[in-house]
Structure 1
Amino acid sequence: MDYATAQSKDFPYSFFLTKDIDLLLPVKIATVEGSREKKPFTALLEDPALKFTGVQTSDYSDIYVTCQIFADNKPLTVPIRTSHKPFENRWAWNEWLVLPIKYRDLPVTAQLALTVWDIQGPRKVAPIGGTTIRLFGKNNSLKEGKHKLYLWPEREADGSVHTATTSKIYDRGEMDRLEKRYDKNDIDRLEWLDNLAFRQIEKINQRESSKSKKLYLYIILPKFEDFPAIFSEPEYELSVAPPLSTTSAPIQFVPSTIIDSSMNVIVDPEITCENPVEAKHRRLVRSHRNGPLDRDLKPNAKIRDELNQILKYPPTKSLTSEEKDLLWKFRFYLTRDKKALTKFLKCVVWTDPTEAKQAVDLLSQWADIDVDDSLELLGANFVNRAVRGYAVGQLQKADDDELLLYLLQLVQAFKFENISEKSSSSNESSLVAFLIDRAIKNPILGNNFHWYLMVECEDKLFGKMYARVAYQYLTAMTMVLSGGQRRDILLRQGVLIETLSKISKSIYELKDIRPKKIEMLRTSIADPKHALLSFPPLPLPLDAGIEVTGIIPEKSTVFKSSLLPLSLVFSCVGGTEYPNPSEASTSLVKVIFKTGDDLRQDQLVIQIITLMDKLLRKENLDLKLKPYKVLATSSDHGLMQFIPSSSLANILSEYNGSLLLYLKAHHPDEKALATYGVNPEVMDTYVKSCAGYCVITYLLGVGDRHLDNLLLSPEGHVFHVDFGFILGRDPKPFPPPMKLCKEMVEAMGGANSSHYQRFKSYCYVAFNILRKNANLILNLFALMVDANIPDIKIEPDKAVWKVQEKFRLDLTEEEAIKFFQNLINDSVSALFPQVIETIHKWGQYWRK
């Protein structure tokens, strides 16, 4: 609307409508009047920090004002603040602040919340006072002009409907009344006399304000000449609804990107409410009276096919109401199928006591379920204690080695156990009691259980709960034979990790060349006060099966990486064999201690790789994977196993761009013509490990794959490190589906060699084996949704879907093979990653 036309005599209206005002809302912050009392000396003695507050340092400290729009107990804008101004004898800004909201978008309940802030201490502010004013007054007219707002002492303005910081004051004096009448043009104006009068009035007002112990904030709201602005909502035209179809169909949500701008989307507030007719129908169908009739009910061939299709759904698939009714109807028939239990429990309405009791009674009749289904029942979607207790009962059948594979997720499942804050006993949660019992019986399992709990104790939301579980664990440990000794071992491990953390931080903060940092590390290890040179046998936190007795200073060093991780060589108890066969005779353990990095994401990826390796071996497919151990001991430090190897970038640089020359240099065999002079076992290991990691890194969406984080051991093991990007995230544009460069293919003899054909065959078989175990992996990721894993935390609701998408469960085995064949071809022929690799190589060169 053209507001200039409003002043025309021919204009037929005497007011504006806010829906027509397409302007941002400005507010002028004028002054703060009044005086502030300094804190007495006695208060300063009780709290010395008060001497840093603004009122103690100056009569007119550098205060500032923030303002924000609220409506219906919700903020409509972000807070906007005044600029910094130094004050000498008066708090005056006279500054216009433009709020990021237009007049047309203001609801009738809009309120302006203003807070005056002052210095409370170093890098800390506190409210001097706050006030809240409604933007619309009587007859829903927009307020204009100058306003004197009372500041409620030491309160931040709240924008709630029933605000406790209302701007209304009831002790207005004659001066305030005259000022208001003058602003409304109720008093005749005479400019020369008004100027003289207001100059004297201003002096009197300042003198009175300086004596007042109350604080007032003066603001100015814009005026629209002689025409008031009246609140009015935009009118929406309702489109004619299409005729209802005779066949019902599930509601399909249309993406916002394809909605026509002319369409008006109206949200139905009752869309999530249960239909009372359907609810009554469900209660009648699922009542106890129908139990005897349903017990002997069997599906026909067509319905049996429908049930089998439902049972093949992945854990993320939501069931329709028709599918839920079908599962309930044939629940007794389905008790013989172990895969049907999780689907059946999803169709139960647990808020209905009758229905919940029927479902719980059926648990004892059901066929024993697999571990992957037990893990699903421990997720966030199942809160019934009987169901969770049943899942724990099934887990008790797993041995300690299998339990260790899922321990990381089982500890995360504590968050869904609904443990009360006042609980001091592990009996409240069957899962907690079960894991504590197994951890006490097995020291290696107990070692990992302890460190998983310690890391979770740092969680802001669940930290106290995990601390109570850790206390229950240590208390229960002292009740068994030699439990006190095991408790002392865990405490000694904590001291060791804390000492290494302090040394690592000191080295990182040292502003000197790397040799000086190495010298500092070795000096710190040899320092008697750190007790690192020699100590009684202690299970290594990274692998409790290895007992270490000290750190060897001269063999320890500092890596060149930006975070300066420590390379520590521990001496072992005589006869201890290191997991790496090449170092079994040395009785030495080399580990990496890393500070300043959250290793929980690496820990999760390595755990999943270890699990996938077990699943492949179970199907007699050994792909020679080498998942190194990782243990996060805090949110910013942890331990990693060291495996002798070199990055592909270094190998290609040293061996004239050939991985084959590297393998031949370490394991030559002149008679092995089929393997190009490399030991056949080494070549077999290389081909298999390439295939295994190509499949696994594709499924996990591992990103940032360059030749510096792909390693190759002299025995031919290819493996990946540094999992800072997973689930499809990648810092580089257009990443290939998997990291398979031409140099890796050339080491197999080229694209036409028999070894490359074997490589592709291993990929196809491994992909289909892991697809059969997709539910287990998806359930493990579902339990990690709230685990503070960086790449999961970005979109926790989509994390499981991202993994499921990689499995392509919609394809048959033959279609899956063709699909993966295309992935391999795309990865090898991708040109852009080669350009990025070259850029990365030059970047590393100039960094050095």
Structure 2
Amino acid sequence: MPDYGRMDPFSFAGSKDVDHPVSVRIMNLEGDEPPVKYSTLLDRPDLRHIGSNTGPFSDLYVTVQVWAGSKPFTVPVQTAYKPFRSERKWNEWLELPITYKQLPVNAHLAITMWDLSPTGGKRALDHAIPFGGTTLPLFDADNQVQKGRQKCLVHRHKHADGTDNSKTPALVAAKRKANARNSDVTPQDKDAEELDRMEKLFKKHEMGEIPRVDWLDQMVFRSFEKRGLQAAKSSMKMLQRQRAVNGDRGNEADDDDEGSIDDGRPSPSIFLLNVELPRFDFPVVFADHEYEPPPISALQSLSASQGNLSQRQPQVHFGPGINALGESSDGFGARLIKVYDPEVGLRDNPAEAKHRRLFRSSHRHGILDKDLKPNAKVRDELNMIMSYSPTHVLSPEETDLVWKFRYHLTRDKRALTKFVKSVNWGDQSESKQAIQVLGRWTEIDIDDALELLGPSFDNPAVRSYAVDRLRKADDQELLLYLLQLVQGLKYEHISVDSEHDGTQDSSLAKFLIQRAAANFMLGNYLYWYLMVECDDHSPEQGLDNRNIYRKVAYEFMTELVKQPGGSEDRKTLLRQAELIAILSKISGEVKVSNESIAKKVERVKNFFADAKNELVTIDPPLPMPLDPSIKITGVAPDQVTVFKSSLNPIKCTFKTTTGSSYSIIFKLGDDLRQDQLVIQIITLMDQLLQKENLDLKLSPYKILATSTTAGASQFVQSQSLSSIVGKFKANPALAYLRHHNPDDRQPLGVRPETLDTYVKSCAGYCVITYILGVGDRHLDNLLLAPDGHFFHADFGFILGRDPKPFAPVMKLSKEMVECMGGVNSEHYQMFKQYCFLAYTALRKSSNLILNLFSLMVHANIPDIRLEPDKAVMKVRERFHLELTEEEAIVYFGNVIEGTLTAFAPVVIDKLHEWAQALRA
């Protein structure tokens, strides 16, 4: 039980983890009753042939059933036939068809003993009539599972009542009148008190709570037998219980029409049923199983046009007399219970489906459809639809409009995704015609092709059409989207059968394998992306997805060796894996060792210098996994550094074939996939800005996750603003740049190109981190290179998440602005202009960025996994696509000014500074 052992010194288990069937041992029946008077038998012929009236040990059988919430949970289970001689003793285990983890907290065992009578009678089932019943709760007052032996009071002539307010409880507390005096209470027999005390001790001994001493135990048992348990139980204690039962029966007579059968006995009967429940090594406490809501993707895939159905719950319309006016459906006495079924919620409205079929049948085969032209008003409506973002859900009227003018829209590349969303792919005739129309469409952009590869589009023809568009992209462009395309494999129909070529069913898998096998740069990254997915054993990934990625990886290697030089490329990838394994080994040793940092550095240096590890000289040169264009020839042991953080990342420097060095930071114990995603998006945004002739001097350093718990990132020579503030007191960032790039002829004393690089990179990262909602920004993860390049690191919080309260939406500290010369300087005004240009340029490519995030929804990225259905919406909100370009510029200007004047970021930076000082 993984979650319960942490609460030392307590040791217990939750019932939801006990996968053991509920069972009960029916032991024996104690007690007796006076015989029925002979005169009564003469007057009551129906009592003559009842088994229990013919002898004190007549045959009985027992049925057991689990009840909860006043409803039966299982079918009854019955003891075998067994004739009795000297006592009613079954000693038989009954196993019920339910496990402890399935039990609710109000579960009861309803136990009924059945007598036989050829004439039947009240509450009879054929020839069986109830001898008596008792109801035992399976959880006690402390919500712990009942265990061990239990004595249950038998309610004579009654079925076991399994309802929540049971009239046949196994344990009945003695009732006293409110005005009763102590002197009126009959004192209990001392023998009965002693026997009661001994019974409790025996039960503790049986449960192992009292240590066993064999020779002493035997003496106690013999002494107890001599006292005569049967004689004591018929003494005053039994009379007191009888009085309690009589009091209950007196109350029950008012509300129980059946009451007790009057058989003319001189006094009531008292019986106790001994049962035994399974014992556990630890207390078992009730813990309910929490069922997650079924994901929409787990249900039958629907067309994108029906995506809006998942957003609304089905409406319930009441009929006459059922929750009519004046009758609330939410009250306790309501006759109708509304239950939301996600599967029903996803189904199409039958009336709307009929309307759509009728409407589209008139615009399906008509020749006039091909020449149908919209008027000015309809054209404006269509233009509005074309401007919708990928996350927008089309209404039924809009889908009908797109379908009606589909031939006209084939000339508009923006309209293809809207057309695909408007098609009912479940209608075979409509689907067939839609595929024919796809062939007439003008060439679409790459961002629309990526949207068609997302989870919303299941039709193979649509996905194949998108892959055909990707074929026209060059390898450099394909590399920008490779991370998302690998995630898109989850939505393909790929067979994992070892004898079947899975890529034949998936145009995307086949395309990626062919392109990656022909280009080692693509092949390098595809290999590592696939390896990380194969390594992901989290519940979110699932075995099916892992098998898909294993199949694609196998077929990629098979295709790779078929290429010229492919065998060498395959060996290169395996050598890269060996390098990562060696780095992981030493990182693991360093992390678990309790040595000082100096000793850890010495350990790593000795490890790298050891010729057995083959790191000092790497021959032939090996392409670096982070960047295959860099070929390394060996490691420089004297340039090793081990950082002080909890994971102790290792900085190691490699020698390259060009004579330069390449430094990386290898980290074990951390999932770098989120950082990898952010760096990939920053790289993409940098390319998009440069296409707009806007070079903001961004520094998207390389980063690669090699597994779910390890990865490497490129080391860029720089210093954090926190360390710069510690070195330089007045205007620290400017002093740092002036130290490395002095120019006395300039007003700020810094070379113009250095200051220009600083201003541009500050603007670029402010806009990008705002759009991505990067959180946990402080002076330790804001870095500044000596040549003026400013950049961010550590992207553990994105999409608006932040561990600190009142965190700003964008990080723009006073140290950053002071380096520009203050808010009134010309450089600060240029900074704002660059921000506006970058924000408006990236808004134009919002569809591409949103589609990339849509493909990453199921990528097991921590901050996306928290709310996968809202991840894309959070990015969309930062673009503010509802605003015009002028309104967006005004809005972003207010964001900048609000960040500068906010007081919370200053407090957060100061608190972080104190916290770091305390840690040091």
TM-score of the pair, normalised by structure 1: 0.73
Unaligned runs of at least 5 residues, structure 2: 1-9, 21-26, 28-63, 77-90, 117-129, 135-151, 159-173, 175-185, 208-243, 257-307, 314-326, 332-336
Amino acid at match of 2:410: T
Q: 1:151 to 1:692 in 2, by over 3 A?
A: farther
Is 1:393 aligned to 2:468, yes or no?
yes
1:691 to 758, 763, 767: 763
Is 1:596 aligned to 2:669, yes or no?
yes
1:758 to 806, 823, 830: 830
Q: 1:376 to 1:151 in 2, by over 3 A?
A: farther
Structure 1: distance between partners of 2:309 and 2:418: 19
How far does residue 807 in structure 1 lie from its aligned partner after superposition?
A: 0.2
Structure 1: distance between partners of 2:570 and 2:739: 49
Alignment of 1:776-815 (within 5 A): 776-815=848-887
Name the SS of the counterpart of 1:787 in structure 2: coil
Name the SS of the counterpart of 1:620 in structure 2: coil
Contact conserved, 1:593 with 1:640, CA < 8 A, in 2? yes
Name the SS of the counterpart of 2:455 in structure 1: coil
Contact conserved, 2:495 with 2:502, CA < 8 A, in 1? no
What is the match of residue 88 of structure 2?
A: none
Structure 1: distance between partners of 2:641 and 2:705: 21
Q: 1:739 to 1:202 in 2, by over 3 A?
A: closer
Structure 1: distance between partners of 2:565 and 2:850: 39
What is the match of residue 709 of structure 1?
A: 781
Alignment of 1:281-360 (within 5 A): 281-287=355-361, 289-360=364-435
Deviations 1:255-310 (A, max 9, x none): xxxxxx99839747666543333322322322375441211100000000000001
Structure 1: distance between partners of 2:12 and 2:693: 71
1:469 to 545, 552, 571: 552
How far does residue 487 in structure 1 lie from its aligned partner after superposition?
A: 0.6
Q: 1:466 to 1:251 in 2, by over 3 A?
A: closer
What is the match of residue 34 of structure 1?
A: none
Contact conserved, 1:651 with 1:657, CA < 8 A, in 2? no
2:802 to 705, 727, 730: 730
What is the match of residue 418 of structure 1?
A: 493
What is the match of residue 19 of structure 1?
A: none
Q: 1:225 to 1:603 in 2, by over 3 A?
A: farther
Contact conserved, 1:371 with 1:394, CA < 8 A, in 2? yes
Amino acid at match of 1:264: D
What is the match of residue 569 of structure 1?
A: 653
Amino acid at match of 1:312: S
Structure 2: distance between partners of 1:829 and 1:151: 74
What is the match of residue 827 of structure 1?
A: 899
Structure 2: distance between partners of 1:398 and 1:765: 27
Contact conserved, 2:635 with 2:653, CA < 8 A, in 1? yes
Structure 2: distance between partners of 1:63 and 1:650: 48
Alignment of 1:193-212 (within 5 A): none
Amino acid at match of 1:427: Q
How far does residue 336 in structure 1 lie from its aligned partner after superposition?
A: 0.2
Amino acid at match of 2:801: R
Structure 2: distance between partners of 1:541 and 1:475: 20
Deviations 1:135-186 (A, max 9, x none): 367999xx9xxxx99563998446499xxx9968899899x96785953156
Structure 2: distance between partners of 1:566 and 1:252: 48
Contact conserved, 2:495 with 2:501, CA < 8 A, in 1? no
Contact conserved, 1:591 with 1:640, CA < 8 A, in 2? yes
Deviations 1:551-570 (A, max 9, x none): 11111121222221111111
Is 1:745 aligned to 2:822, yes or no?
no
Is 1:503 aligned to 2:474, yes or no?
no
What is the match of residue 264 of structure 1?
A: 330
Contact conserved, 2:113 with 2:131, CA < 8 A, in 1? no
RMSD, matched Cα: 3.9
What is the match of residue 296 of structure 2?
A: none
Name the SS of the counterpart of 1:545 in structure 2: coil
Name the SS of the counterpart of 1:519 in structure 2: helix
What is the match of residue 513 of structure 1?
A: 596
What is the match of residue 67 of structure 2?
A: 134
Amino acid at match of 2:534: C
What is the match of residue 102 of structure 1?
A: none
Name the SS of the counterpart of 2:664 in structure 1: strand
Is 1:276 aligned to 2:209, yes or no?
no
Amino acid at match of 1:567: K
1:666 to 737, 740, 760: 740
2:616 to 528, 533, 548: 533
Contact conserved, 2:309 with 2:348, CA < 8 A, in 1? no
What is the match of residue 723 of structure 2?
A: 650
What is the match of residue 184 of structure 1?
A: 155
How far does residue 792 in structure 1 lie from its aligned partner after superposition?
A: 0.4
Structure 2: distance between partners of 1:657 and 1:173: 98
Deviations 1:558-592 (A, max 9, x none): 1222221111111112x3xxxxxxxxxx5211111
What is the match of residue 688 of structure 2?
A: 615
What is the match of residue 36 of structure 1?
A: none
How far does residue 426 in structure 1 lie from its aligned partner after superposition?
A: 1.6
Is 1:452 aligned to 2:502, yes or no?
no
Name the SS of the counterpart of 2:685 in structure 1: helix
How many equivalent residue pairs? 669
Name the SS of the counterpart of 1:183 in structure 2: strand
Between stretches 655-664 and 513-522, larger displacement belongs to: 655-664
Contact conserved, 1:150 with 1:168, CA < 8 A, in 2? no
Contact conserved, 1:657 with 1:743, CA < 8 A, in 2? no
Is 1:544 aligned to 2:628, yes or no?
yes
Q: 1:160 to 1:414 in 2, by over 3 A?
A: farther
2:707 to 613, 624, 634: 634
Contact conserved, 1:522 with 1:556, CA < 8 A, in 2? yes
How far does residue 847 in structure 1 lie from its aligned partner after superposition?
A: 0.7
Contact conserved, 2:113 with 2:132, CA < 8 A, in 1? no
Structure 2: distance between partners of 1:138 and 1:652: 70
Amino acid at match of 2:550: A
Q: 1:178 to 1:640 in 2, by over 3 A?
A: same
Structure 2: distance between partners of 1:196 and 1:267: 55
Structure 2: distance between partners of 1:80 and 1:438: 50
Contact conserved, 2:400 with 2:422, CA < 8 A, in 1? yes
Deviations 1:642-672 (A, max 9, x none): 1110001111111114211111111111122
Q: 1:711 to 1:167 in 2, by over 3 A?
A: same
Name the SS of the counterpart of 2:849 in structure 1: helix
How far does residue 530 in structure 1 lie from its aligned partner after superposition?
A: 1.6
Identity %: 51
Amino acid at match of 2:330: N
Deviations 1:78-130 (A, max 9, x none): 9999xxxxxxxx9xxxxxxxxxxxxxxxxxxxxxxxxxxxxxxxxxxxxxxxx
How far does residue 379 in structure 1 lie from its aligned partner after superposition?
A: 0.2
How far does residue 359 in structure 1 lie from its aligned partner after superposition?
A: 0.8
Unaligned runs of at least 5 residues, structure 1: 1-61, 69-77, 82-89, 91-130, 211-221, 231-248, 255-260, 576-585
What is the match of residue 25 of structure 1?
A: none
Contact conserved, 2:114 with 2:132, CA < 8 A, in 1? no
Contact conserved, 2:369 with 2:404, CA < 8 A, in 1? yes
Q: 1:644 to 1:193 in 2, by over 3 A?
A: closer
Contact conserved, 2:494 with 2:506, CA < 8 A, in 1? yes
Amino acid at match of 1:430: S
Q: 1:291 to 1:736 in 2, by over 3 A?
A: same
